[in-house]
Amino acid sequence: MTKKKILTIPDPMLRKISEPVEEINKKIKNLMEDMLETMYQAPGIGLAAVQIGILKRVIVIDLSKTGEKKNPVFIVNPQIKFKSKDLVSYEEGCLSIPNQFAEVKRPNSCVINFLDYYGKKKELKAEGLLATCIQHEIDHLNGILFIDHLSKLKKDLILKKAKKQKKEIDRVVV
Ligand code: ZN
pLDDT in tens, the chain (174 residues): 899 999 999 999 999 999 999 999 999 999 999 999 999 999 999 999 999 999 999 999 999 998 899 999 999 999 999 999 999 999 999 999 999 999 999 999 999 999 999 999 999 999 999 999 999 999 999 999 999 999 999 999 999 999 998 888 777 766
CA 147 to ligand 1 center in whole angstroms: 10
CB environment 99-110: b (16+ within 10 A), e (fewer):
ebebebebbbbb
CA-CA distance, 174 to 167, in Å (whole number)? 10
pLDDT of residue 174: 64
Catalytic residue numbers read 137
Residues whose CB is under 5 A from ligand 1 (ion)? 94
Domains of the chain in start order, with CATH, are 12-170 (3.90.45.10)
For the chain, give the number of residues.
174
CA of 32 to the centre of ligand 1 (A): 16
**How many angstroms separate the alpha carbon of residue 10 from the centre of ligand 1?**
13
87 Cα to the center of ligand 1, angstroms: 19
